Amino acid sequence: MNLIFICSYLSVTDVIDTIENEGSDFMILTSDKGLQKLFSELYSSSKVLKLPKLCLSIKPFSTFMSDLILLPFYKRKILNKCKEINPKKIIFYYIGWNGFESWLIKRLSKVAQVFHRPKVDMRAIKSNNLFKQAIKTYIFSFIYGIKFKSASFHNYPTITIDKPFLKLVGAKRYDHIFNPNNIRKFISNRFVYSNNIKVLILIGGEYNLDRDKYNSIMENIYISLVKHYKSSEIGIKNHPNFPSINASWAKDSIIIDKLIPASLLCYTSEIVIAYGSAVLYEAADIGKCAISTAYMIPTKIKGSESNLVQYLLDNSKSKIYFPICIDEFNDLVKV
């Protein structure tokens, strides 16, 4: 039995590829309700073990204290459940701290081999010595008995695991080379409608943008697209973990369930358009035309678009396009 930990939609394709590659019985562990629903539908609810969302933040303090009281109960419950499964392998993808998951992997590493398959380059994690961030990191490290790292990831403050944690759990690099054919075969059976989508537009989930300007520019982008593609060949998808944006400008196009991972849908699309989604570098790396609107849409924080662009470039092995105006965008999407 393989235990597969997933904490982000970014890793959905890796989970499917891992399952196809391993060919063994498996259990998917996640605390994200959307991912629980997704994998229950893709496989079976019996293949999904729900993890609690506890002690994710110090605020509000009353919730934090309530979580601390519940934590020992869930530790015993989930650990015993995993031991009953008798895992042979543990495979995980995240670089963030994910306290409960990291604690569980630490305990189970005594009875199973651990493999790490990060989606992004961990060399981009830098130390962050700001007092407030260091205090948060210390508190969560104390709670879970694991020394996490106070860090910045592409200039965003965060808490992460690092090499000492990987050494602690004896994690080896999962050395299977990602096989796109595993994903194409899977989605051809599961999402038949995706075969009609030539252009995939991802909306929502962006920070520090003027919402009115964002909507106006996205409407202009859509108007440009329908000059070259049928509206029925364009798919619009909101970010799963943010409030939905009303894309009223997307007339007669396919509005995709926000819980369906864009990282799957990009395999059947020709063009993927987003502001800064990690799906852009995944799409580029499988030969799709990936277009970021980072330079087209004004940001409220000077320089943040450059940081975002650098993040995409650092994690992509192939070309991503960054048009600065609608004319440049139009030249990219001409059929």
pLDDT digits (tens, 9 = 90+) for 50-94: 999 999 999 999 999 999 999 999 999 999 999 999 999 999 999
Name the residue type at position 203.
I
pLDDT at 335: 62
| Cα 301 from chain centroid (whole Å) | 24
For residues 253 and 219, is the Cβ–Cβ distance under 8 A? no
pLDDT at 212: 87
Residue 24 gets the label, from left (phi > 0), alpha (psi -120 to 50) or beta, of beta
Q: Distance (Å, rounded) from C-alpha 90 to C-alpha 26?
A: 10
CATH topology identical between 2-178 and 192-333: yes
For residues 89 and 31, is the Cβ–Cβ distance under 8 A? no
Alpha-helical runs (H) found in 86-177:
99-108, 131-144, 163-168
- Closest C-alpha among 155, 102, 101, 109 to residue 133: 155
Task: For domain 2-178, give the CATH number.
Answer: 3.40.50
Q: Distance (Å, rounded) from C-alpha 120 to C-alpha 126?
A: 14
Q: Distance (Å, rounded) from C-alpha 289 to C-alpha 158?
A: 31
pLDDT digits (tens, 9 = 90+) for 156-207: 899 999 999 999 999 999 989 888 888 888 887 788 778 889 999 999 988 8
**Annotated domain spans of the chain:** 2-178, 192-333
Q: Distance (Å, rounded) from C-alpha 29 to C-alpha 91?
A: 10
| Cα 191 from chain centroid (whole Å) | 20
Asked whether the CA dihedral 14, 19, 22, 26 is positive or negative, the reply is positive
Q: Please give the angle made by the CA atoms of 235, 266 and 320, to the nearest 5 degrees.
A: 105
Q: Which residues in the chain show pLDDT less than 70?
A: 335
Alpha-helical runs (H) found in the chain:
12-22, 33-42, 61-85, 99-108, 131-144, 163-168, 180-190, 211-225, 262-265, 279-285, 304-315, 326-333
Q: Looking at the domain covering 192-333, what would its CATH class be? A: alpha beta
Residue 252 gets the label, from left (phi > 0), alpha (psi -120 to 50) or beta, of left
Q: Distance (Å, rounded) from C-alpha 69 to C-alpha 32?
A: 21
